[in-house]
């Protein structure tokens, strides 16, 4: 298998960027003492798993940001896609298995430390290493036509996906942003990070937005062991996108009506949010079974955030794959009726259709891609969840600040005078120690917040330890526009 496009460029790279740019080798050559560049001869890329497979409809390059994004990029690299991982935590980069070592880029002045869930620290690290990221993308993705930028939106690094998107767009690559949403139980701070990130992406120069729902992944892979759970999730995401990208070149399929690469290209670059899904067509292929499968693929994706109205779909593609045993019993009128029904339920969406005959028997499948959508109901549900959780957290914080009361030991016959160190009733209570909360990120002090401003891309307000629950709720409620907001109206 030939090296992927850009491998030669990667092999010839010298040290990239300024003193804050770090490339991590295995084992790590960098510790807290400061970054070091890898020797030039270590840039030889020999991992055959990173080769770009031929015959795919679109040549996609993947850039993963943060731990979540890097692991998803790793799953794409295992399938032969050129992939880069960017992080400010060296341990996360070291754990990758398929992204070639030269394409793992550490950013930030203290790259080994990570962002600790802080959007401010993650954003600073990415901006400091922005030139290095841009140079690596430009040299490695020489044959790439679309860049998939992916990150976990609840994280301090991945939540700055808009920064990565801007770097890619400045290089004049079309870019698809894929953000992973926190699950229901992951805490309001992660959800607030994600909501802030979504608002930033709404105005970003992206060609489309994909939103992966961790809650869907828990339902899909929750029975897996804790060690295999996340690899299974990452692989399923890469496999689903790769499957759509390979339909036109699958040697086990024969085209009856072609859904060509340009059809796919126009859909994924249409704008707004994009949904895709696959549904099994039960029994014979008829108008009703096709329509049921169509609605199931859009409304019940097992990975992507859902909650859209069918009439909000602007353009869509649907591809049927079926064996000869089923197609030989299906009239052309069935598909004409299906087209008419789709026109009705979507209120006139443009529809691109493909039909492929499989060499094997079995149930037919319908693959659907819907584009031009507004933010889904799942995002607005998360906004409500985060608001309620912020209010509950505010109550807990106020309770934690109540001064501790002395115990009455007189029933035990013990006379105990108040300590000379005790605080008088008229003095303000002492400042309590910080209460450890599982989802809380390292927090900036109030002076930093006052200097930086609340909910800016440089220093979001959730980095402040002095946030009160009611204030949190007020800020969170102002994060998103109305549900009908569309990311981009341009085809």
Task: Tell me the H-state helices in 144-225.
Answer: 161-170, 188-202, 214-221
Asked if residue 239 belongs to a domain, the reply is no
* Domain end residue (candidates: 321, 351, 373): 373
Cα separation, 95 vs 116, whole angstroms: 17
What are the two backbone dihedrals, phi and then psi, of residue 381, each rounded to the nearest 5 degrees?
-65, -40
Side by side, which strands form the sheet with 315-323? 22-23, 104-106, 83-87, 60-65, 146-152, 175-181, 208-213, 273-281, 364-373, 315-323, 350-358, 253-257
Give the CATH number of the domain where residue 72 resides: 3.40.50.1440
Return the SS3 of 257.
strand
Task: Please give the model's pTM, rounded to 2 decimal places.
Answer: 0.75
Burial classification of residue 63, based on how many CB atoms lie within 10 Å of its CB (0-12 exposed, 13-18 middle, 19 or more buried): buried
Contact between 452 and 459 under an 8 Å Cβ cutoff? The reply is yes
Who's near 277: CB < 8 A, 6+ residues apart? 296, 297, 298, 300, 301, 302, 304, 367, 368
Asked if residue 356 belongs to a domain, the reply is yes
Asked if residue 431 belongs to a domain, the reply is no
Mark whether 23 and 131 lie in a shared domain: yes
Mark whether 278 and 366 lie in a shared domain: yes
Mark whether 16 and 163 lie in a shared domain: yes
Mark whether 16 and 145 lie in a shared domain: yes
Q: Total structural domains in the chain? A: 2
* Domain end residue (candidates: 326, 350, 373): 373
* Domain end residue (candidates: 338, 353, 373): 373
Mark whether 25 and 170 lie in a shared domain: yes
Asked if residue 410 belongs to a domain, the reply is no
Contact between 171 and 84 under an 8 Å Cβ cutoff? The reply is no
Mark whether 166 and 263 lie in a shared domain: no
Give the CATH number of the domain where residue 329 resides: 3.30.1330.20
Mark whether 257 and 141 lie in a shared domain: no
Cα separation, 367 vs 413, whole angstroms: 79
Mark whether 145 and 40 lie in a shared domain: yes
Mark whether 14 and 154 lie in a shared domain: yes
Asked if residue 60 belongs to a domain, the reply is yes
**pLDDT tens, per residue, the chain with 491 residues:** 344 444 444 444 443 333 333 333 322 222 222 222 333 332 333 233 333 345 788 999 999 999 999 999 999 999 999 999 999 888 899 999 999 999 999 998 654 577 778 888 888 889 989 999 999 999 999 889 999 999 999 999 999 999 999 999 999 999 999 999 999 888 888 999 999 999 999 999 999 999 999 898 888 888 889 888 889 999 999 999 999 999 877 878 999 999 988 999 999 999 999 999 999 998 999 999 999 999 999 988 888 998 999 999 999 999 999 999 999 999 999 999 999 999 999 999 999 999 999 988 899 999 999 999 999 999 999 999 999 998 888 888 777 666 678 888 888 888 877 765 554 444 555 554 443 334 434 434 433 433 333 333 444 444 444 344 445 555 555 566 544 333 433 33
Asked if residue 358 belongs to a domain, the reply is yes
Asked if residue 489 belongs to a domain, the reply is no
Mark whether 45 and 177 lie in a shared domain: yes
Mark whether 364 and 280 lie in a shared domain: yes
Mark whether 171 and 46 lie in a shared domain: yes
Asked if residue 430 belongs to a domain, the reply is no
Residue 283: give the domain boundaries. Answer: 250-268+273-373
Contact between 235 and 75 under an 8 Å Cβ cutoff? The reply is yes
């Amino acid at each position: 298998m030939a090296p992927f496009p850009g491998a030669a460029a990667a092999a010839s790279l010298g040290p990239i960027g300024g003193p804050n740019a770090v490339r991590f080798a295995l084992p790590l050559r960098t510790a807290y003492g400061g970054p070091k560049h890898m020797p030039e001869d270590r840039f030889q890329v020999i991992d055959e798993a990173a080769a770009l497979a031929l015959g795919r409809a679109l040549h996609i390059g993947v850039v993963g940001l943060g731990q979540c994004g890097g692991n998803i990029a790793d799953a794409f690299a295992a399938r032969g896609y050129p992939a880069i991982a960017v992080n400010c935590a060296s341990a996360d980069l070291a754990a990758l298995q398929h992204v070639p070592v030269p394409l793992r880029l550490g950013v930030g002045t203290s790259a080994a430390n990570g962002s600790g869930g802080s959007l401010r620290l993650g954003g600073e690290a990415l901006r400091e290493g922005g030139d290095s990221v841009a140079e690596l993308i430009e040299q490695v993705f020489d044959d790439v036509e679309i860049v998939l930028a992916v990150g976990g939106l609840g994280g301090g690094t991945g939540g700055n996906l808009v920064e990565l998107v801007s770097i890619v767009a400045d290089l004049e690559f079309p870019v698809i942003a894929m953000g992973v949403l926190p699950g229901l139980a992951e805490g309001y701070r992660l959800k607030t990070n994600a909501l802030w990130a979504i608002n930033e992406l709404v105005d970003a120069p992206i060609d489309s937005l994909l939103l992966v729902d961790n809650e869907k992944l828990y339902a899909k892979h929750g029975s897996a062991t804790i060690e295999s759970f996340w690899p299974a999730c990452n692989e399923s995401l890469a496999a689903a996108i790769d499957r759509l990208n390979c339909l036109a070149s699958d040697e086990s399929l024969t085209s009856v009506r072609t859904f060509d690469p340009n059809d796919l290209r126009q859909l994924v670059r249409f704008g707004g949010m994009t949904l895709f899904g696959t549904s099994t067509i039960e029994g014979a292929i008829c108008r009703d079974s096709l329509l049921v499968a169509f609605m199931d693929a859009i409304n019940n994706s097992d990975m992507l955030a859902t909650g859209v109205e069918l009439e909000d779909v602007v353009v869509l593609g649907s591809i049927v794959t079926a064996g000869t045993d089923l197609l030989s019993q299906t009239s052309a009128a069935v598909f004409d009726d299906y087209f008419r029904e789709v026109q009705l339920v979507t209120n006139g969406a443009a529809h691109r259709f493909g039909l492929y005959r499989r060499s094997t028997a079995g149930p037919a499948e319908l693959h659907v891609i819907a584009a031009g959508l507004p933010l889904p109901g799942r995002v607005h549900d998360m906004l409500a969840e985060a608001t309620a959780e912020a209010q509950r957290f505010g109550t807990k914080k106020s309770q934690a600040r109540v001064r501790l009361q002395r115990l009455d030991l007189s029933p035990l016959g013990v006379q105990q005078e108040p300590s000379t160190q005790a605080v008088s009733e008229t003095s303000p209570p002492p400042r309590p120690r910080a209460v450890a909360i599982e989802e809380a990120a390292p927090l900036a002090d109030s002076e930093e917040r006052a200097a930086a401003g609340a909910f800016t891309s440089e220093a979001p307000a959730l980095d402040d330890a002095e946030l009160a629950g009611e204030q949190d709720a007020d800020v969170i409620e102002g994060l998103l526009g109305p549900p009908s907001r569309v990311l981009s109206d341009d085809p």
